[in-house]
């Protein structure tokens, strides 16, 4: 056994920008089950379809942007926004495939042909001079404003995983038995879901309840005496 960094968790998360609802998850253990991250991604998509889920857009990182995954998502009424690595091959002008980093791609979106897939719209986002991202969608109507909205939605997966670790203790099970680790992660996901639903139902009520209880306890038994300033 050895310590590993992270919890090797792949999550399918539903979000409207505010609510973070985990719908499915997989634990990455290629030694144990032989499945890659792309295999888990594909499995979760099939499971979501079987459950009747019909998302307006599927958001994902570049590691899940292979042509087979893109083709699995492609269907009427369903779009995708995903990151691309800079060495992805595209044909911007019908003259042959080149790396996306070598093509003249606009920040407002450029229509190109993706090798092994078909036509897509790709955006070039300059974070810094040495930090450039590429995002692609198969929806030709997606403009920069819509891309920004979807990119904001995609960041909620990071917020979810941070919340899972910080507030639900997902990474604090120091046991060696794999089944115990899986059970702990599963219970952490359930705890997060309970907290998220409670937060959605009550809004700021949870925070205000803490403040009210603290004020009530202080008035009942003051620990500090405030000196008048006037």
Confidence at residue 208, expressed as pLDDT on a 0 to 100 scale? 61
Residue 224 lies in a domain: no
pLDDT at 4 over 60: no
Residue 230 lies in a domain: no
pLDDT at 68 over 70: yes
- What percentage of the chain exceeds 70 in pLDDT? 87
Greater pLDDT, 9 or 217: 9
Of the candidate ranges 63-72, 74-83, 217-226, the one whose mean pLDDT is the lowest: 217-226
pLDDT at 5 over 70: no
Confidence at residue 158, expressed as pLDDT on a 0 to 100 scale? 87
Q: What is the pLDDT of residues 80-105, one digit of tens each?
A: 899 999 999 999 998 999 999 999 99
Residue 103 lies in a domain: yes
In which band, very low, low, confident or very high, does the pLDDT at 54 lie, cut at 50, 70 and 90?
confident
Domain count, the chain: 1
Residue 222 lies in a domain: no
Residue 53 lies in a domain: yes
Beta strand pairing call for 110-114 and 98-99: unpaired
Residue 212 lies in a domain: no
Determine the structural domain holding residue 153 and report its residue range. 9-206
Residue 214 lies in a domain: no
In which band, very low, low, confident or very high, does the pLDDT at 19 lie, cut at 50, 70 and 90?
confident
Most confident segment among 119-128, 174-183, 221-230: 119-128
Residue 16 lies in a domain: yes
In which band, very low, low, confident or very high, does the pLDDT at 224 lie, cut at 50, 70 and 90?
low
Give mean pLDDT, residues 142-168. 87
Confidence at residue 26, expressed as pLDDT on a 0 to 100 scale? 93
Give mean pLDDT, residues 72-82. 78
Greater pLDDT, 46 or 17: 46
pLDDT, averaged across the chain: 84
The Cα–Cα gap between 150 and 199 comes to 23
- Burial label for 78, CB within 10 Å (0-12, 13-18, 19+), is middle
């Amino acid at each position: 056994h050895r310590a590993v960094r992270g919890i090797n968790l792949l999550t399918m998360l539903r979000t409207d920008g505010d609510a973070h609802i985990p719908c499915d998850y997989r634990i990455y253990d290629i030694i144990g089950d032989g499945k890659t991250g792309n295999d888990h991604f594909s499995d979760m998509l099939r499971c979501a379809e079987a459950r009747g889920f019909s998302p307006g857009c599927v958001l994902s990182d570049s590691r899940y942007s292979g042509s087979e995954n893109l083709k699995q998502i492609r269907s009427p009424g369903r779009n995708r926004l995903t990151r691309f690595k800079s060495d992805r091959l595209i044909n911007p002008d019908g003259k042959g495939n080149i790396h996306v980093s070598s093509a003249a791609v606009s920040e407002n979106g450029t229509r190109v042909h993706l090798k092994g897939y078909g036509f897509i719209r790709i955006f070039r986002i300059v974070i810094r001079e040495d930090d450039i991202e590429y995002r692609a969608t198969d929806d030709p109507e997606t403009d920069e404003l819509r891309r920004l909205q979807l990119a904001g939605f995609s960041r909620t997966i990071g917020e979810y995983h941070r919340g899972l670790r910080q507030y639900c203790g997902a990474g604090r099970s120091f046991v060696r038995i794999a089944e115990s680790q899986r059970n702990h992660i599963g219970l952490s996901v359930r705890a997060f879901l309970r907290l998220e639903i409670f937060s959605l139902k009550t809004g700021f009520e949870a925070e205000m309840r803490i403040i009210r209880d603290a004020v009530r306890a202080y008035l009942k038994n003051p620990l500090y005496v405030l000196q008048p300033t006037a």
